Amino acid sequence: MTPSSPKNATLLSPSREGIERAAQALRAGELVAMPTETVYGLAGAGLEASALSKIFAAKERPTFDPLILHVSWPTPKDSASGVTDPLTELERRDLVHLEGWSPIAREIAQKLLLEFWPGPLTLVLPKHPRVPDLATSGLPHVAIRMPRHPVARALIEAAGMPLAAPSANRFGRISPTRAEHVQSELGERIGWILDGGPCEVGVESTVIRLGSKGEAQLLRPGGIPAAEIERILGCPLQAPPLQPIAGPSGSPGAQIAPGLLESHYAPRKPFFLLPSTLADLPENLASIRSFQPLFQLIRKPNARLGFLSSGPDTGSAKSVLSLRLGQEAVAHEVLSPEGDALTAAQRLFSLLRWLDESSASVLVAEPWTREIHTGLGHAIQDRLKRASARNQITL
Ligand code: TXA
Ligand code: MG
């Protein structure tokens, strides 16, 4: 008997019929991959435990890592009149429960949502009992976002319910920014992919947790620069807590900031992140102890190097590459030919995936060094670090 060939998911065009077909599948409890402005999400009925279980199973995601609920309705940005503010709408729809919240905390949440929704901001707020514990891994709060991708919004509205949607990749792997990435990650496991073309932002949403007194913690840097959020808050964001907390039943394991899992977004091949750009590194790298694991791999007889430069200067990078690492790359790409963070974020996951699928056997990247403290650069460098968590080089 020959093994049967793997089944692919059906690609749906983002037409009215495509969206309606996808919405039907969601209402029937099935999973659909949908485009958002950040990355593709693996969507399922957000308030149905059985659909949530399917998401965890398809991704092989541990149930201690909670999901984001995606919502959509007309906001004040869509139309000038006749719509309530997003926080009131979240309460009215029984998704969040803000008992004991100070007026100032409410005002902060309202301001953030009015400014950044729809868009790549996820807010973590106290959950309404109606939200299944499985969605939040037993935590008393729920992560919610309103994407700005028109196909995602149309799908959520056609489905008529909040959609839980983690990035549509297998757990720990590179996030998908095109429909074909989803096909190769999950095509055998899901029925439908809505193809909305390449994602515009390219890195996931910024996750902020708000407390009842208005305190705001940055749980994951992402598509909206922290500085823009701080401008609305009028004060700096707090660092995330380091300790996992227990769920309401005292169940251990759920982490308060699970987005901070150290290894994530990882290629399959060994992937090393340099401590500075190639040109800024000393010439005698092979003699530096922290570079030993990398040199052990690139000196193997059939080793082939894949390289991701951060900046524009590819021409000179090629010669510096031979000089510093002892060989040219069989696959070489530049994160942002113009050196800007917007392009780098857009291209990041796609290029990591391309390198992973190239003929290279060892992957090396330069760090991203622009807009690193407050801007989108923070999210790019965060993803590079987590993708290389097993192979970090320090000087
Ligand atoms: O841009 C995005 O946010 C994409 C698109 C598809 O919307 N989604 C996404 O989902 O990145 P996911 O599951 O890959 O990442 C969600 C992050 C995780 O790090 C998760 O641990 C965190 O949000 N999160 C979810 N619920 C949480 C909660 N109740 N408390 C703290 N962190 C939470
Ligand atoms: Mg993810």
| DSSP state string for 232-278 | HHTSPPBPPPSS----TT--S---SSGGG-SS-SB-SS-EEE-SS-G
Q: Is the pTM of this model over 0.85?
A: yes
What pLDDT does residue 245 have? 44
67 Cβ inside 6 Å of ligand 1? yes
118 Cβ inside 6 Å of ligand 1? no
For 125, what's the count of Cα atoms within 13 Å in the CB-facing half-sphere? 30
165 Cβ inside 6 Å of ligand 1? yes
219 Cβ inside 6 Å of ligand 1? yes
Rounded Cα distance between 65 and 72, Å, is 23
Residues 170-179: tens digit of each pLDDT: 999 999 999 9
Rounded to 5°, angle at Cα 382 from 378 and 383:
125
Q: What is the 3-state secondary structure (H, E, C) of 158-182?
A: HHCCCEECCECCCCCECCCCCHHHH
Q: Provide CB contacts within 8 A for 94, sequence distance 6+.
A: 128, 130
206 Cβ inside 6 Å of ligand 1? no
Residues 76-131: tens digit of each pLDDT: 888 766 678 899 999 999 999 999 999 999 999 999 999 999 999 999 999 999 99
What pLDDT does residue 320 have? 80
Nearest protein CA to atom 6 of ligand 1, as residue: 41
Whose atoms come closest to the Cα of 41: which ligand?
A: 1
Both tokens assigned to 352: 């990591």
Residue 331 burial (CB count, 10 A)? 18
Which of 151, 204, 264, 349 best tests ligand 1's pocket when mutated (most atoms within 8 Å of CB)? 204
Q: Find the radius of gyration of the CA atoms of the chain.
A: 22
Q: Provide CB contacts within 8 A for 135, sequence distance 6+.
A: 46, 47, 52, 66, 67, 69, 142, 164
Rounded Cα distance between 282 and 288, Å, is 9
Spatial CA neighbour of 271 closest among 197, 145, 363, 379: 363
CA–centroid distance, residue 338 to ligand 1 (Å)? 30
Number of the ligand 1 atom closest to the C-alpha atom of 220? 19
Q: Where are the alpha helices (DSSP H) in 117-149?
A: 133-136
- List average pLDDT for each run of 10 residues in the chain, which is 395 residues long: 68 98 98 98 98 98 95 87 85 96 96 97 98 97 98 98 98 96 97 98 97 94 96 92 48 49 84 92 91 96 95 70 88 93 97 98 95 91 94 86
Which of 56, 60, 68, 185 best tests ligand 1's pocket when mutated (most atoms within 8 Å of CB)? 68
Contact, 294 vs 393, CB < 8 A?
A: yes
Rounded Cα distance between 202 and 222, Å, is 9
65 Cβ inside 6 Å of ligand 1? yes
CA–centroid distance, residue 341 to ligand 2 (Å)? 20
Residue in the structure block whose two tokens are 């906001």 = 75
Residue 266 burial (CB count, 10 A)? 18
In the chain, DSSP assigns E strands to 10-12, 32-34, 41-45, 68-70, 121-126, 141-145, 163-164, 192-194, 206-210, 216-220, 271-273, 305-309, 329-334, 362-365
Contact, 40 vs 34, CB < 8 A?
A: yes
Specify the amino acid at residue 50.
S
Contact, 127 vs 68, CB < 8 A?
A: no
Contact, 324 vs 307, CB < 8 A?
A: no
Whose atoms come closest to the Cα of 258: which ligand?
A: 1
Number of the ligand 1 atom closest to the C-alpha atom of 169? 14
What pLDDT does residue 180 have? 97
For residue 264, the Cα-to-chain-centroid distance in whole angstroms is 10
Specify the amino acid at residue 266.
A
